[in-house]
Amino acid sequence: MASTNDLKNGMVLNLEGQLWAVVEFQHVKPGKGPAFVRTKLKNVESGKTVDKTFNAGTKVETANVDKRTMQYLYNDGNSYVFMDVQTYDQIEVSPESVGDAKNFLLENQEAIIATNEGRVLYVELPASVELLIAETEPGLQGDRSTGGTKPATLETGHVIQVPLFLTTGEKVKVDTRDSSYLGRVKN
């Protein structure tokens, strides 16, 4: 149990049997009436976001979330298999729990796996990853480094928009939160 005064971003609360991560919070002290805490909560499993207001000092149940660095091994068709880098234990993660992280996962890449009472909640990747462009249309004469974009298929099979001057086989830096192109990586 914790008080609403102790809330922090990223803290996971157990409200009515569902797990909610605190996205943001704000303590409000109106001129009249009692103080309260306005929060934005994200459902850990469904990804749904809600706004919820608590009276200041209210007790809320916190959930124990264990985050471990694990190495992605392979996809066996039904689930993604990760290995704990300290204990070498293997864990199978459902495609639903992996979510959009699958677009950026390469074999032997490390990721953070968040669990609660043995149940995998989500897979957390670094803010950006470096991936090879597996296929893209060739650039044309007159392509500029600013302006237009074209689709490019990454080595994971995910398609992103890249500037016109990039070619197949180049390595690019990609934002894992919104699939945006961040820049070319020099070899």
**Residue ranges, CATH 2.40.50.140, the chain:** 66-124, 128-185
Residues 4-23: tens digit of each pLDDT = 888 888 888 988 888 888 88
> Does the structure show a pLDDT above 90 at 2?
no
Residue 187: closest CA among 170, 175, 165, 168: 170
pLDDT at position 36 is: 92
Query: Whole-prediction pTM value?
Result: 0.72
23: helix, coil or strand? strand
| Structure token digits, residue 181 | 């192109």
Residues 116-163: tens digit of each pLDDT = 888 888 888 888 899 999 998 886 655 555 567 889 999 999 999 988
CATH fold, domain 2-60, is SH3 type barrels. (2.30.30)
Residues 77-128: tens digit of each pLDDT = 899 999 998 899 999 998 888 888 899 998 999 999 988 888 888 888 888 8
In this prediction, residue 26 has a pLDDT band, given cuts at 50, 70 and 90, of very high
Q: Which residue has the higher pLDDT, 177 or 132?
A: 132
Most distant CA pair in the chain, distance: 67
> Does the structure show a pLDDT above 90 at 174?
yes
| CATH, range 128-185 | 2.40.50.140
pLDDT at position 143 is: 52
Report the pLDDT averaged over residues 49-62.
Answer: 90
In this prediction, residue 41 has a pLDDT band, given cuts at 50, 70 and 90, of very high
pLDDT at position 111 is: 92
Give the CA-trace dihedral at 187, 159, 137, 109, to 10 degrees.
Answer: 20
> Does the structure show a pLDDT above 90 at 3?
no
Residue 159: closest CA among 128, 125, 185, 133: 133
**Residue ranges, CATH 2.30.30.30, the chain:** 2-60
pLDDT at position 53 is: 92
pLDDT at position 171 is: 93
| Integer Rg of the chain from CA | 21
66-124: what CATH class?
Answer: mainly beta
| Structure token digits, residue 23 | 């996205």
